[in-house]
């Protein structure tokens, strides 16, 4: 590069070549790719962390079967009232009344599904009549059936949780304390 170099008198008398400035350090393509990749991974990690912290995840919808057991001396009116109460509490589904024979058939199916033999003590006379409703939900709270606890002719309330037709949990929501 050619530049003017003035003399002390202020007039220009000669052209002098100035030295080239040093070149900036060259960054290679690999460095740029590494920085871009690291930035993308960091951004993805931050997004995942934020989503997990705010509770974003798929919660499965399970099947819950609410079973209200009746005493042997429960009247047809009491059973119908309990069935109607279940219908009112869980309006999306319809409750069914199970006779002792229906209860035994359900027990036989449950034991057969597990591959276990039916205990000889399980007979129609040993089973309880019950009202049953199946609901689909992400969770179940026994407080939903508090209004049925201690109802006339009701001896207990059990809830069984199924996931893909496999029993995964059972809970007792109410039982007659007398």
Q: What does the domain layout of the chain look like in residue ranges?
A: 22-57, 62-175
CA nearest to 158, candidates 61, 70, 73, 92: 70
Q: What is the pLDDT of residues 83-116, one digit of tens each?
A: 999 998 888 888 999 999 999 998 888 888 888 8
pLDDT at 17: 66
Full-model pTM: 0.62
CA nearest to 74, candidates 100, 51, 48: 100
Strands 130-137 and 2-6: unpaired
Burial of residue 56 (number of CB atoms within 10 Å: 0-12, 13-18, 19+): exposed
The share of the chain scoring above pLDDT 90, in percent, equals 24
Check residues 13 and 134 and name the one with the higher pLDDT. 134
Q: What is the pLDDT of residues 28-44, one digit of tens each?
A: 778 888 888 999 999 99
The C-alpha atoms of residue 64 and residue 86 are separated, in whole angstroms, by 13
Helix and strand counts by DSSP (H, E) for the chain: 3, 7
Q: What is the pLDDT of residues 13-69, one digit of tens each?
A: 555 566 777 776 666 778 888 888 999 999 999 988 888 788 777 777 888 889 999
State which fold the 62-175 domain adopts. Answer: Alpha-Beta Plaits (3.30.70)
pLDDT at 174: 64
C-alpha count within 13 angstroms, C-beta hemisphere, residue 162: 11
The two three-digit tokens of residue 52, written as one number: 């997990």
- Which of 116-125, 134-143, 151-160, 165-174 is predicted least confidently? 165-174
CA nearest to 98, candidates 86, 83, 108, 87: 83
């Amino acid at each position: 590069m050619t530049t003017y170099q003035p003399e002390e008198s202020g007039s220009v008398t000669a052209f002098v070549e100035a030295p080239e400035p040093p070149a900036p350090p060259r960054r290679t393509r690999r460095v740029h790719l590494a920085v871009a990749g690291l930035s993308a991974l960091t951004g993805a990690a931050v997004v995942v962390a934020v989503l997990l912290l705010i509770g974003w995840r798929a919660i499965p919808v399970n099947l819950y079967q609410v079973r209200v057991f009746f005493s042997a001396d429960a009247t047809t009116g009491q059973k119908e009232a309990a069935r109607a109460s279940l219908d009112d509490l869980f309006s999306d589904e319809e409750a069914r009344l199970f006779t002792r024979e229906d209860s035994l058939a359900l027990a036989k199916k449950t034991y057969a599904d597990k591959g276990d033999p039916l205990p000889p003590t399980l007979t129609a006379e040993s089973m309880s009549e019950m009202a049953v409703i199946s609901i689909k939900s992400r969770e179940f709270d026994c407080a939903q059936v508090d209004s049925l606890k201690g109802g006339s002719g009701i001896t207990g309330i059990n809830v069984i949780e199924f996931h893909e037709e496999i029993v995964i949990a059972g809970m007792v929501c109410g039982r007659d304390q007398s």
